[in-house]
A and B are shown apart, each in its own frame.
Chain A
């Protein structure tokens, strides 16, 4: 029962992340929604690989989640740097109004 509840938590986080990415306008909020989605996926990864008989060891699941966390760190660093660069260029950060790619 707990395992199923945790699976539902994972889907819940993912669905909330989708809603946030689609509807929020501040890029920071969009990034946070992406973090929510990644965390939802991580829970399911840990959960599925802890299931008896599914894998020989629980280690691959944990390491998968570990790699996801590392890649998320890299992604956030680059994304926030891009955001600062955009802010310096146009001094407003709104996803709907920053439409120009040309420098």
Chain B
């Protein structure tokens, strides 16, 4: 049951990711991306990583996509040719690169597999307390570094977006 739901979310993510790349209207691409991110949150939940699913919904589908939509409203040009203007060489290179990447990874999965059975949600989910202990114990340095990065980002964005009147 849960496994089936996970597969359905995975299919939804794959289809809407295609829509992100193919849609002509940038707003539609953004909406498809939101759908992809939500479906991926479903996949994470199906794997038992509930905390990650919540973070995905809040940070990605909530925060990042709001930023995208906001900038989309600031910028004017919304329509664009889907794959406009590039040289045929570029198309061929992109096709070979993506196709080769897919082929190599499919062969790898075919040959070795990532591993056995569906892990299910039961044995998986670490509790919030465990996660917090991990974040503020063993992994406190990366955690604080991320905090520093976000702070620097805040300052940088304010400096970049400020109108230079003087």
Contact = CB atoms under 8 A, between A and B. Distances in A.
Nearest to A61: B49
B146 A16 contact: no
Contacts, number: 224
A1 B118 contact: yes
Contact of A62 (B7, B30, B49): B49
Contacts of B149: 70-71, 74
A82 B55 CA distance: 26
A3 B77 CA distance: 41
Interface residues of A, number: 71
B106 A22 contact: no
The 9 closest A-B pairs by CB, nearest first: A11-B105, A22-B94, A81-B160, A74-B153, A51-B115, A2-B118, A15-B98, A81-B157, A7-B114
Interface size class of B (residues with CB under 8 A): 35 or more
Main secondary structure of the interface of A (DSSP, over half): helix
Given A7-B114, A12-B14, 7 more contacts: A16-B20, A23-B94, A25-B80, A47-B114, A51-B119, A78-B153, A81-B161
A93 B106 contact: no
Interface of A: 1-9, 11-16, 18-20, 22-26, 28-29, 31-33, 35-36, 39, 42-43, 46-48, 50-52, 54, 57-60, 62-63, 65-67, 69-74, 76-78, 80-85, 87-88, 91-94, 96
B126 A32 contact: no
Contact of B7 (A5, A39, A76, A87): A5
B48 to A, nearest CB: 7
B75 A87 contact: yes
A11 B102 contact: yes
Contact of B134 (A20, A51, A63): A63
Contacts of A32: 20, 29-30, 33, 68
